Structure 1
Amino acid sequence: MCISLLCWQDWGMPGNPYSMQLKWYVPGNNEVACVQSLISRYLPPELQRINSFISDEVQLTREELQCSLGIVIAVLGCRSMLPVWDEPPVKLIDSCLPITPFLPSVDVGGGHVTMPDGSNVRKSVADTVNRLQEKLLLCREDDTKSFFSLIVLWEYLLIDRFGSKSCYEVHWKNFRMLKKVLENKLVGQKRHLRALLIDRTMLQHESLLEQGSMCLTPTHRQMMINLLTLSTSHYSEVRSRAQVKLFTALDQFSYSYTVLIPHLLRNLQQDSSQFHEQFKGSLYVLLGPKQNPLVTRHDWEMLMNLWPAIVRTKPSEKLSVIRLIENIVESVHKHFPTITISLQIPELCLAAARQLWNSSPAPCFQVVSDEEVAIGMQQLEDRNQYNTDQYLALLDSLMDAMQQENLHWRYRSMALSFLRDLVHPDLPYSARTVRYFLHTLIHDSLELRKIAIRSTVFLLKQQKRAHKKILIDPLSFSGGEKAKGPGDHASNRWVQYCSKTRPLTAEAWDTPCYVHKPYHGFYCWPEQVEVYAASGEQPALDRSHDELTAEEKEVDLFFSDQQNVDRLVELLALEEKKGKDKFNGYRFIMFKGLFRNHGDTYLNHFLPHLERLVTDKHESSQRCAAEIIAGIIRGSKHWPFHKVSALWKALAPIIRLALLNMTVETIADWGICFATSSENRDPNRHHWLLELLMEDPLRDEASFIECGRLYTLQGALNQQEWRVSELFHRLLSYLKPFLTHPFQNVRERLGSVLTNIFEPDILLLGGSRTTSPHITTFVSEIIPQLAVLYQIGPKALDSSSNHIELRKKLSGESADPVMNMLENMQVNGEERDVAIRLLKTVCRWVTGSISRAQYATVAEYYEFFPLVCLMSNYDADEELSRSCVSMLAMMGQALMLPQHVPVVLQSVSKVSESISWWARSSCLEFLQVVVFHNMATILSKQVWIREVLDIVLQLLEDDWLEVREKASQVLGGLLHCNFIESTDDLIEKFKLKSKTKVKKQQVHGHAMDAVDLQSLRLRHSGILGLCAFINAYPYDVPEFVPDVFLHLGDHLNDPQPIPSTIRKTLGDFKRTHHDNWEQHSLKFTEQQLGVLRDLTIPPTYYA
């Protein structure tokens, strides 16, 4: 290719990918003739030399042989001009379509290059290299470098017609790296450098070449066999390189793995100890390619031959082989999907195909006749039957290996894993396989038991019978009234929990009005809803042994035996890893499937064990009981009323014992148990469980038991979301007296429960208000109970009281009357402690609610804001201080709706007038965070901007130094974010305040005069305002900054703290602008730079 312009003329200029004007150079007759002369001159002598070495006519040293092979490799660099040999393709599978290659048309214009005798160059080299490999394997197996050259040659001849696959991938990698380095994102629109665009064009051409495919010919097949031979040879490096090229060939040629399987099966039948390298190399080949391993190909005939052969291989105790076997098991489990056994083509697809055939553009073939369609359908049926036979034969072969042969324990585990991964929804496990899995549940090996549990889950799912569903009109239960918006309304009242209408009779139980999915009805109803029919119309549960299928009989025989159940529960109750075991979902699903399919047939076998397990303090025993109970509750979904009623009469005392005997380690397991039991279940159908968990959860017991009861109740109610408003009301009324609980863990759990109770209280656009408890009502009840904290807060927190006393002494003015009232008021210690504990619970509730909410914060939360600011520095109780700080942090970063902004600003303004300096400082920190996280909302109205600025400017003149400094920091942040538009007026205002006159003389026997203190405060506020403008631009120097420096220079001799504030600001300015000071200094005049040096460099002692 050539370019119209020289590179240096367009240096650094972005190119246009749509007008590059590239010209491709196509080799002609002269170039082809030159290549032909080179081939004729160098290739035949080297091939003749190699052939003479093969026939023992000459002897070549290793170096000489490697030199000859290197010349052959170099000559094949022109392989884009070397055509592939002409041979008929190998028939790998039966197909109705002809086998044709797909090759991009990139041939050169001057023809192709051949051998001097006219034969194909690739074929000649392939025949010679094939015989050379046999020779080297026979007499020079240690010549690894020659084998490396052979592997390169096989790559060139087999899978590389136009270029190396590895070179193509390296090219892509280098291009991405170069693009990332040279990319200019400011230009955009793919306008990269011209050289980069040219490189990308070349990559596009190479990508097209990589998409080509060839048919597998006998010569290709022999090459793949040769690569397989090298992949299983003696030396590991040779094996590794050959396997990489072999895996590439497997991706290049479809169904080419069928060529390798017979050879791999022969290798697997050999002694793994005697032929260790060959055996290990075969296992590596089975594991590749990485994303589509050979051992998991979708071919039932191949799997039927391969998997049993792997299972029957002779065991090896070498660690490398053991790891490869484990990798094969893991690879099958990870990459082997549920593939099709019987493919069905419905008539609808045939009709669509005929319509497509008659559409434009018209196909070049004739229309398929009905006879051809019938033949195809018959062939499909034959193929389906063949796949079914192969699948069943594979299962039987693996079962024979486990039952009739003395397998090593590791290979038995592998066979069992294969059986587990062969589960299929269309063909259930045979009775023989079901029996083996069930009895493996009580095997001594933990690994085998884990596999058996998963397999039992699958086989019980296969045996699940379809349950009848009926269509109902959801509006018929509400008199035809439709929902006007999301939320609670009359049309969804019938799916909400109601203790008065819960099903307590068989008639109510069988009424088709139970909707298990919680999302139905909240926003709207579909025209028709599917619900389960009455229990009498569902598959019968009370079946005799003769009425069961062969597979179900095996389940019945196993679980009817009390000894099997005893052994199973004993093994499930064992601890695996101390502190690492969790609630096991597969065990739960196994028991769910058992009780779903067979009803309460085996319930009495498990009840005695449950009574024993729930009273056992061991972690593993209680976890086992939780898994079984969850499975029983979920499995009883379709039981008739008399069975469910009897179940809860037996199960309720056991659950009460479990809640009484919970340990710290098992609280989470019991929470998962009841949350799982309640998930996607109509609360009215589970009223036994919900009412049981609501039974006085905070009775006089250990605190962790109380927390556990609340946690389990919370898990069950949380699954129901908006459908249990009645229970939320009852629970809130019950919890109100306990919100001041003395134990921290209980208070934290109470706060979390309050989060769930008030979570439905949101008003969506066009929706109705929830019937659950309302936050407004709750907050109005809590606020009066916290009023006592306003009386103790200033005493403990308000360091500014000394300042007030000083002002009173100097000015003779009386202090704030509110302060006098609080100073003289006596607070009862018990009332104080109760209020503090209540505030801790409220903080936990608000913090949890905001962190979990997917919507904006609630305005009612800000009614706690003044008190939380006041108590955030309460030194007497570190827990309270930490809780208040966390609540302020969550409220600050929460999203605000525009209608809530006035409430927030009003709360901040109220705290800014507090008598506590710490509260005033905290509200400034909060205001800064709120404005940053809700910048767009607040900027939408000038009134809100003015209010924020007024609060900051008011506190910039505060009596307390720390508050003024915090206000200056917040003002700098607002300026930095361009929150304030008109800055010139503000600068002039601060300059004017900084010129406030301060009398420096003192009255004998007194501190500074009150008037002087007031003027100093105003003067310092002006200086802080000017310093805020400097701190607002840490990496730039606006035009007004030099003039501000001149103004600050006149105040270095003012009373403290003005000089220290100026020097700190200048120190920060010097630090942040040091790196680019040469550019920044250009914005200062000589006079301003002199003042700046005087400000930053302190005078000498003698100055």
Structure 2
Amino acid sequence: MQDPADLVLEQNHNPLKRQVPVVDPTQEFTDEWLEEFKAPLDLEKARLEPHLRDRVNSGWLSWRKTYNAYLAPDPEKYPFPHADQASEEAVGVIREIAQKESFWKELKTHYSSENNAEVIVQDDVSCVKSIFQLVGHGPFEVLKPIVEELLEKQEKNKQRGAAEFLAGVLAGSKHWPTNKQLELWQWSLPLMKKIFSHTNNDTISIWSSFLEYMFYRKDPRRVQPLVDYLVEEFHSVNFQSESTLEIIKVLCYFRALYEQLGWKFSAWTDEVLRTYWPHIASEHDEVVAYISEMMTFSSKVMWRPNPSVPTTEAFVRESRTAPLDADLMGARGVFHEGRVLELARKFPQWREERLPGVRAFQSTYDRVGVLVCRWLFQMVHDTNAITAFDYILPLMPELFRFTEINDNDDLATRAGLLLNRMCGVIPPRRLIHSVLDQLFQAIQKSPSWRVRLKILPLVQIYYFRQGPLIKDVMISEMMEVICRCLDDEVVEVREMAATTLSAVLRVSPRRSVVALKVTPVSSQRRLCFAQHPRLF
């Protein structure tokens, strides 16, 4: 009988749950621990040793003394004890109802009725899940023909109802005897393969939400057949297919897998990027979007802090004693470093091969440029935004060129917005002045006055956000660069330089204003000062 205190506190005790001690917390241990999610589960071994880990709640920054893991169920017996005597009658009634075909038919009518839902309704899934958790696999044979009947119909509401039933059964089978789980997968996997290959635009969101539910807070080895199928489909997709839908279906379902697994997906990351990388110039905009999302996701899950030992004690000690420029949190972007340098080498060649006029957007230069802007824009808005600067700096000369393209507004707008947002993110301490150097070089060396016109506002944004971290020598150089722009032959640049100088001086210490007063002033500068009297 359950402890009354547990009933009051709504606490459950899973007999398969174990506390596994972390004996040797090292970076190598963390890597091996993550690799285990990719390896197929040995059921015989998993019944004796706890290998299943649904929720990951330590290890990224530091390891706790223990972590939660679970044993695999017995091949024939249920792991949970029978309901206590007071609940047996209620459970018996539920079991009796769940064995009736009429009950599931009525539920089918309700689930597949017309509504505005574009995704599965989780309350519906939870109802089915709870039934199969409570009474076991008994009603499964009754439900099978009903699910198969719904799956035969392509109408959206019928598909949603089938997805809700299927998600509920699969989720509710988590603690079934493993033999029964295998029978369920032998029945359901062929159905899912057929479904996923025949979905249309109306039902993609339904089955994508089904997969998101299946992988949420779950060890991928619990749903190994489904993971294997999605990974295989991803690696075999034809990115050159004329049918965008055929590609998007696979990528959409695969995204549901990696987004819900999160850090547990780390072991697959390299091979996925190797499959994606040859197609960065895809002619399908949707494919480019999925690649940029994967690059953002991989940057995040492969981000690793760098304490000497991943323990709380070591991290706190090194946070106190490490030098200011030590990269203890792994703020430097290194995972995509090789790919970024490859892009930096290839962009000049692609620029030479760029198509003229209205066909420009079809060029490799433009397509990859849009992908880069998408990816970096997503990064500077994410929790690991600081790591983006190591990727942005090698590409900044090209980003500046993107902004002056006049036959691809999408690329020019994306690049300008990225540079603007970049200036609002605090970079790693070692790169603060490197970003300014790139801005100064572009202003001084770019042959296009439009580039100077667009970069000058970035200087004032960057100075406003990072001013306290910028050394005096760099501030002096910044003043010189801006003042030289006051002599520019293009009036728009001169006006923008005056506006920028005014904004910089308003947030500068008094000594900067005094130093500027003794600077030789040309006639053009006098005109700008006259037009902006608030400079002094």
| Shared fold, TM over 0.5 | yes
Relative to structure 1, is the Cα distance of residues 778 and 930 closer, same or farther in structure 2, using a 3 angstrom cutoff?
same
Counting matched residue pairs gives 503
Match of 2:15 in 1: 468
Whether 2:82 is the aligned partner of 1:523: answer no
Q: Which has the larger radius of gyration?
A: 1
Q: Secondary structure at the match of 1:529?
A: strand
Q: Secondary structure at the match of 2:363?
A: helix
Relative to structure 1, is the Cα distance of residues 693 and 1023 closer, same or farther in structure 2, using a 3 angstrom cutoff?
same
The correspondence for 2:103, drawn from 551, 564, 574, is 564
Match of 1:862 in 2: 393
The correspondence for 1:788, drawn from 349, 371, 378, is 349
Match of 1:882 in 2: 413
Amino acid at match of 1:917: W
**CA distance, structure 1, for counterparts of residue 372 and residue 151 of structure 2:** 34
Amino acid at match of 1:570: T
Pairwise mapping of residues 952-1101 of structure 1 onto structure 2 (< 5 A)?
952-978=482-508, 981-989=511-519, 992-994=520-522, 1019-1025=523-529, 1027-1028=531-532, 1030-1032=533-535
1:190-216: per-residue Cα shift (whole Å, max 9, x none)?
A: xxxxxxxxxxxxxxxxxxxxxxxxxxx
Whose RCO is larger (CA < 8 A, sep 6+)? 2
**CA distance, structure 2, for counterparts of residue 651 and residue 601 of structure 1:** 16
Relative to structure 1, is the Cα distance of residues 617 and 837 closer, same or farther in structure 2, using a 3 angstrom cutoff?
farther
Q: Secondary structure at the match of 1:512?
A: coil
Relative to structure 1, is the Cα distance of residues 628 and 865 closer, same or farther in structure 2, using a 3 angstrom cutoff?
farther
Match of 2:263 in 1: 722
Whether 2:303 is the aligned partner of 1:762: answer yes
Relative to structure 1, is the Cα distance of residues 605 and 917 closer, same or farther in structure 2, using a 3 angstrom cutoff?
farther
Whether 2:336 is the aligned partner of 1:775: answer yes
Relative to structure 1, is the Cα distance of residues 761 and 492 closer, same or farther in structure 2, using a 3 angstrom cutoff?
closer
Relative to structure 1, is the Cα distance of residues 881 and 1031 closer, same or farther in structure 2, using a 3 angstrom cutoff?
same
Match of 2:364 in 1: 834
Pairwise mapping of residues 570-589 of structure 1 onto structure 2 (< 5 A)?
570-576=109-115, 578=116, 582-589=119-126
Amino acid at match of 1:688: P
The correspondence for 2:464, drawn from 932, 948, 958, is 932
Please report how far the alpha carbon of residue 1025 of structure 1 lies from its aligned counterpart in structure 2 after TM superposition.
4.8
Contact 2:379 2:385 in 1 (8 A): no
Pairwise mapping of residues 801-950 of structure 1 onto structure 2 (< 5 A)?
833-853=363-383, 855-859=385-389, 860-912=391-443, 913-938=445-470, 941-950=471-480
Pairwise mapping of residues 273-284 of structure 1 onto structure 2 (< 5 A)?
none
1:569-627: per-residue Cα shift (whole Å, max 9, x none)?
A: 23201112x4x555322112112222223333333433444444445433322322332
Relative to structure 1, is the Cα distance of residues 719 and 611 closer, same or farther in structure 2, using a 3 angstrom cutoff?
same
| Structure 1 runs, 4 residues or longer, greater than 6 Å off | 792-796, 829-832
Q: Secondary structure at the match of 1:759?
A: helix
Contact 1:690 1:716 in 2 (8 A): yes
Relative to structure 1, is the Cα distance of residues 730 and 894 closer, same or farther in structure 2, using a 3 angstrom cutoff?
same
Pairwise mapping of residues 454-853 of structure 1 onto structure 2 (< 5 A)?
466-475=13-22, 480-483=23-26, 489-498=27-36, 501-508=39-46, 511-536=49-74, 539-540=78-79, 549-576=88-115, 578=116, 582-614=119-151, 616-697=153-234, 698-699=237-238, 700=241, 702-764=243-305, 766=307, 774-788=335-349, 790-791=351-352, 833-853=363-383
Q: Secondary structure at the match of 2:69?
A: strand
State which drifts further: 730-739 or 673-682.
673-682
**CA distance, structure 1, for counterparts of residue 350 and residue 452 of structure 2:** 17
Please report how far the alpha carbon of residue 786 of structure 1 lies from its aligned counterpart in structure 2 after TM superposition.
2.2
Please report how far the alpha carbon of residue 503 of structure 1 lies from its aligned counterpart in structure 2 after TM superposition.
0.6
Q: Secondary structure at the match of 2:488?
A: coil
**CA distance, structure 2, for counterparts of residue 883 and residue 768 of structure 1:** 29
Contact 1:846 1:887 in 2 (8 A): yes
Please report how far the alpha carbon of residue 757 of structure 1 lies from its aligned counterpart in structure 2 after TM superposition.
1.5
**CA distance, structure 2, for counterparts of residue 833 and residue 794 of structure 1:** 6
Relative to structure 1, is the Cα distance of residues 667 and 925 closer, same or farther in structure 2, using a 3 angstrom cutoff?
farther
Please report how far the alpha carbon of residue 691 of structure 1 lies from its aligned counterpart in structure 2 after TM superposition.
2.4
Contact 2:91 2:135 in 1 (8 A): no
Relative to structure 1, is the Cα distance of residues 719 and 962 closer, same or farther in structure 2, using a 3 angstrom cutoff?
same
**CA distance, structure 1, for counterparts of residue 105 and residue 462 of structure 2:** 61
Q: Secondary structure at the match of 2:123?
A: helix
1:461-511: per-residue Cα shift (whole Å, max 9, x none)?
A: x9x985304544433xxxx3224xxxxx22334542447732154334653
1:767-825: per-residue Cα shift (whole Å, max 9, x none)?
A: 6869x9812122122223322354478998xxxxxxxxxxxxxxxxxxxxxxxxxxxxx
1:397-438: per-residue Cα shift (whole Å, max 9, x none)?
A: xxxxxxxxxxxxxxxxxxxxxxxxxxx9669xxxxxxxxxxx
Amino acid at match of 1:551: A
Aligned residues with identical type, % of pairs: 18
Contact 1:790 1:867 in 2 (8 A): no
Q: Secondary structure at the match of 1:957?
A: coil
Contact 2:52 2:71 in 1 (8 A): no
Amino acid at match of 1:603: F
Relative to structure 1, is the Cα distance of residues 871 and 508 closer, same or farther in structure 2, using a 3 angstrom cutoff?
same
1:966-986: per-residue Cα shift (whole Å, max 9, x none)?
A: 222111110122267332332
Contact 2:379 2:388 in 1 (8 A): no
Contact 1:481 1:490 in 2 (8 A): no
Contact 2:119 2:209 in 1 (8 A): no
Amino acid at match of 1:973: A
Please report how far the alpha carbon of residue 659 of structure 1 lies from its aligned counterpart in structure 2 after TM superposition.
2.5
Contact 1:671 1:712 in 2 (8 A): yes
Match of 1:372 in 2: none
Relative to structure 1, is the Cα distance of residues 628 and 981 closer, same or farther in structure 2, using a 3 angstrom cutoff?
farther
**CA distance, structure 2, for counterparts of residue 528 and residue 504 of structure 1:** 22
Relative to structure 1, is the Cα distance of residues 778 and 890 closer, same or farther in structure 2, using a 3 angstrom cutoff?
same
1:925-953: per-residue Cα shift (whole Å, max 9, x none)?
A: 22222222223323xx2133223223323
**CA distance, structure 1, for counterparts of residue 110 and residue 169 of structure 2:** 19
1:230-259: per-residue Cα shift (whole Å, max 9, x none)?
A: xxxxxxxxxxxxxxxxxxxxxxxxxxxxxx
Amino acid at match of 1:564: F
Relative to structure 1, is the Cα distance of residues 614 and 924 closer, same or farther in structure 2, using a 3 angstrom cutoff?
farther
Contact 1:594 1:635 in 2 (8 A): yes
